Structure 1
Amino acid sequence: MLLAVLLATAAGCITADRAAPDADTITVAVTIPPQAEFAEAVGGDRVRVVVMVPPGASPHTYEPTPGQLAEVSRAALYAKVGSGIDFERAWMEEISGLNPGMQIVDCSEGVELIAGGEGEGADPHIWTSPRNAEVMVGNICAGLCSVDPEYCDYYRQNAAAYAENLNALDREIGAAVAGMQNRQILVYHPAWAYFARDYNLTQIAIEEEGKEPTPQGIQHLIQEAKEKKITVIFAEPEFSTRSAEAIADEVGGEVVLVSPLERDYIENMQRVAAAFARSGS
């Protein structure tokens, strides 16, 4: 019932919700904020980007507003993450039905996926690897070339320039974490597997299969943290920090907030790398 109401409301809001974009601007919809930086880097002044899961919201639970559905109904291109993120699994069919003429590009095409927890399929957090981000940017570029072929050279030039920035970021992160003595990171939400794979780290997650740990699970993590001399627990502002704080209290450590969902992708990944590096020094 809620879905029907949202879609009906969105259809009625297409002209009233917000003024139509300029005729020379292509509306590109993306799922999460980091993709907005990717799309804007490639599309430049040719694109207007709509983010479906706003900053501070979790892509595992978020439901779009009628206004967002109205905006995506005007989009020429939707760049989905494509790796099994919950928002897309729940909403992509309805979103594509709302705008049948919209082209959908899968940003995960060409990315080597990591298996998630037991029964979870692939780990969806592919963008936490700058190397994967470069693949995603290439897919967005291909999508823009398809819907706006006249400016394909422009998009390719922009994509190449941004790829150079991502390559520099990759080298910078590698250098930042190279000296870590303890290469294990204890995190609340298991969002950093691709980052860990690229930079030879081990991710230990508090949350399993989207569920809070049991009291026995917390005790096990406390013991593991003590044995491995882990004193920093990384949590995300999009999730509760209660379990992370409980473990930190027991091991005499601290909780540090890092988010994989910031819109300023390169700057955020630099901050994350610095936080991980400090925790393992």
Structure 2
Amino acid sequence: MRSQRKGNTAPISPVAAILAVLLLAAVTAGCTETGEEGEKDIVVAVTIPPEQEFVERVGGDHVRVIVLVPQGADPHTYEPPPGVLAGVAEAKMYAAVGSGIEFELAWMDKIASLNRNMLVVDCSRGVDLISTGEGSHQGTDPHIWVSPRNAKVMVENICEGLMEVDPANADEYRRNADAYLEELDRLDAEIARALAESGVEKIMVYHSSWAYLARDYGLVEVPIEDEGKEPSPQRIERLVTLARDEGIKVIFASPEHSTRSAEVIADEIDGTVVTISSLEKDYIENMRYVASVFAGSSEP
């Protein structure tokens, strides 16, 4: 019986043997490469979509970003579902806005407790914060990212954080950050030129999100909201008068908030409502668009 089994087994040719070895080597190499690539992923949690762009532009292929407040949600009031916060457990770094945004004030302790080994980066470190004197923003305006000049500071803080959690790729992070900072420099110059040439002095917005941009480019932001609440009829009347006196023809609303009051004022001044968001992921293109509509929002 043993001799019959040997007789029924076809001999393996040298060529077939070599091909089999090469195939096994290729499969093994593929498995190893996938494993190494998985190990390269640096999971980074961020609060808002613009920070996702900042982290991805600095981190390149080495990072995977978890956004805690998704597109279209209001970071002042958003409550994340359990599944979103669970993802923080695998993050090596959390890029917090750090400027007093309500989501972070409400959830930071919970987020930190899910991953005590996670590096928390305060992206507002080095930013000259605007004091609001209002309790709802803990005394500071949290919307620091709307100015490219502040965005550059945030990118630097993110770069330093990535270099700390992944020193093996520190040189690449530095190169990526420098390239992106050059783009932000060009954006800064474009916005400064566009707004200076427009002659616009005041922008009327429903929600006060643009104070840092206004400060850096010589504008005055006029919010319709009254300390986070719908305006009274008397306030709307005053805003209508102001818009007429200043030649304001565009009222800016945001997709995260009601447009009702903005529409009332626009109707009274025979103007229009334009929706803009400070929370778009495509930061440079969004800010370029925002500057263009601000530049055309008043009559000379």
Q: Could you tell me which residue of structure 2 aligns to residue 280 of structure 1? A: 298
SS in 2 for 1:23: helix
* TM-fit CA distance, 1:203: 0.5
Of all paired residues, the percent bearing the same amino acid is 60
Q: TM-score, normalised by structure 2?
A: 0.85
Contact 1:28 1:75 (C-alpha < 8 Å) held by counterparts: yes
Q: Which runs of 5+ in 1 are unaligned?
A: 1-20
| Structural mapping, 1:27-42, within 5 Å | 27-42=43-58
Contact 2:200 2:295 (C-alpha < 8 Å) held by counterparts: no
Task: Tell me the distance in 1 between the aligned counterparts of 2:191 and 2:199.
Answer: 15
Q: Could you tell me which residue of structure 1 aligns to residue 212 of structure 2? A: 194
Structural RMSD (CA): 1.2
Letter in 1 for 2:180: Y
| Alignment partner of 1:70 out of 63, 68, 86 | 86
Letter in 2 for 1:150: A
* TM-fit CA distance, 1:97: 0.6
Q: TM-score, normalised by structure 1?
A: 0.91
Residues 243 and 215 from structure 1, CA distance in 2 versus in 1: closer, same or farther, beyond 3 angstroms? Answer: same
| Structural mapping, 1:159-178, within 5 Å | 159-178=177-196
* TM-fit CA distance, 1:117: 4.8
Equivalenced residues, count: 261
- 1:204-241 Cα shifts (integer Å, max 9, x gaps): 00013211111211111112112222111001011100
Q: Could you tell me which residue of structure 2 aligns to residue 113 of structure 1? A: 129
| Structural mapping, 1:254-273, within 5 Å | 254-273=272-291
User: Relative to total residues, which structure has the larger helix share, 1 or 2?
Assistant: 2
> Is the aligned partner of 1:89 residue 2:105?
yes
Deviant stretches of 4+, over 3 Å: 117-120
Q: Which runs of 5+ in 2 are unaligned?
A: 1-36
| Structural mapping, 1:1-281, within 5 Å | 22-119=38-135, 120=137, 121-280=139-298
Structure with greater Cα Rg: 2
SS in 1 for 2:257: coil
- 1:63-83 Cα shifts (integer Å, max 9, x gaps): 111111111111100000000
Task: Tell me the distance in 1 between the aligned counterparts of 2:229 and 2:133.
Answer: 11
